[in-house]
Amino acid sequence: MVWINLRLRRQKIDPTSRRSAIQLQVKTILNIVQRFVGFVYRQVQLHCPAKSAPSIEILVEPHRGIRGRCSHCQKPAPGYDRQPERRWLFVPLWGIETHFRYAPRRVNCPEHGVAVEYIPWSEGKRPVTLAMMGFLARWARRLSWLETARAFQTSWEMVYRSVQWFVEWGLSQRDVSGVKSIGVDEIHWGHGLRADNFLTVIYQIDAECRRLLWVGRRRTQATLRRGLKVLGPDFATKLRFVCSDMWKPYLKVIAAKAPQALNVLDRFHITGHLNKAVDEVRPSREWTAEDRGGQKEVEAHALAVTPEGKPGARSGSPETERLGGQQTGHGARLGVEGVFLSLLEV
């Protein structure tokens, strides 16, 4: 076993091969990127065992002139005693596993009594530094959790806990006071069509910000009500626009919770319902001269209300000829859909 004081030396290129007087240490880098008030980096050592991978140990000590702070109120308090030394996994340096080593103090807080001091690089009893959890959570957005764990020589559970902490921290810092437009939709996940295979999703769709706000299991009224409640008691009353599909449980909750908001229905689902209705009606009857005459009137109305410069059915176009002629099969559905979409463009 070999212990080496780890230093990075910045050498100046000199024909005389003189040694530079400036030496850059790892402690200098740590004090720039991970500086903690009340603590000092005492020593950085490279541990090189005979039959295992090397590791870096960073020894942290309390600053002699600064009191420890209570972990509850974060106020300075007199010391009480010290606990055994603990180790925290830190972001790997040059691909080498790196740990913090520190023996936490206990302080005698006037308000909370004897308590473990506030440790700024740690949360609770997690054996991972906050920097490492943020590092793993960001990489977990690019790779799978298993690949992230393998790449950085850690466990899948540690990656999961890091993502969970990162999400919880983000939710605690989130501000939804300026949200004016939201979208409500359901997504399918897993296998099967059971109620638990659907999720209700609420997301912000304002022009200046688009982000996911909440996800809940199932697509029921209770789920959507719970999501709006989590976002704040006055969240729904301040909305101006709500975009959703034609799922009745969502429409009922939106009408009850945000009556002042304009409910914009999803164009995709409206078109889907229209096509389904045409497919159900078409086999039950045959097109007659009266039907074709009525359809021409619908076409003429669509041409009348379509603004200039916007796409729509025009006289002499294939769309007009298809609407005016006898329409059967898939052509009939496309003709009705074309007229309907022309009306939606108004």
Domain total for the chain?
4
pLDDT at 292: 57
Lowest mean pLDDT, pick from 13-27, 144-158, 176-190: 13-27
- Mean of all residue pLDDT scores within the chain: 81
Whole-number Å distance between alpha carbons of 238 and 3: 62
Query: Both 76 and 187 in a single domain?
Result: no
Domain that holds residue 142: 123-173
Whole-number Å distance between alpha carbons of 241 and 145: 36
pLDDT at 2 over 50: no
pLDDT at 242 over 90: yes
* Higher pLDDT among residues 268 and 109, named by residue: 109
Whole-number Å distance between alpha carbons of 81 and 326: 93
* Higher pLDDT among residues 28 and 286, named by residue: 28
Q: Is the entire prediction scored with pTM above 0.85?
A: no
Q: What is the mean pLDDT of residues 290-318?
A: 52
Q: What is the mean pLDDT of residues 231-254?
A: 91
Query: Both 315 and 209 in a single domain?
Result: no
Query: Both 18 and 91 in a single domain?
Result: yes
Query: Both 167 and 233 in a single domain?
Result: no
pLDDT at 301 over 90: no
DSSP-H helix ranges across the chain: 26-33, 130-139, 145-151, 156-173, 221-230, 248-257, 267-281, 289-305, 318-324, 329-344
pLDDT at 276: 82
What helix, strand, coil percent values describe the chain, rounded to 5? 35, 25, 35
pLDDT band at 277 (very low <50, low <70, confident <90, very high): confident
Whole-number Å distance between alpha carbons of 225 and 242: 14
Query: Both 50 and 103 in a single domain?
Result: yes
pLDDT tens digits, one per residue of 50-90: 888 899 999 999 999 999 999 999 999 999 999 999 999 99
pLDDT at 189: 86
- 103, 86 in Cβ contact below 8 A? yes
pLDDT at 327: 46
pLDDT at 229: 93
pLDDT at 228 over 60: yes
> Where residue 229 sits, what CATH number does that domain have?
3.30.420
Query: Both 45 and 87 in a single domain?
Result: yes
pLDDT at 315 over 50: no
Query: Both 43 and 114 in a single domain?
Result: yes
Query: Both 118 and 41 in a single domain?
Result: yes
How long a stretch of residues is the chain? 346
pLDDT at 297 over 70: no
Query: Both 199 and 253 in a single domain?
Result: yes
pLDDT at 263 over 80: yes
pLDDT tens digits, one per residue of 153-212: 899 999 999 999 999 988 888 889 889 999 999 999 888 888 889 999 999 999 888 999
pLDDT at 322 over 70: no
List CB contacts of 153: < 8 A, sequence separation 6 or more: 92, 97
pLDDT band at 295 (very low <50, low <70, confident <90, very high): low
Whole-number Å distance between alpha carbons of 323 and 320: 5
Query: Both 153 and 231 in a single domain?
Result: no
Q: What is the mean pLDDT of residues 231-244?
A: 92
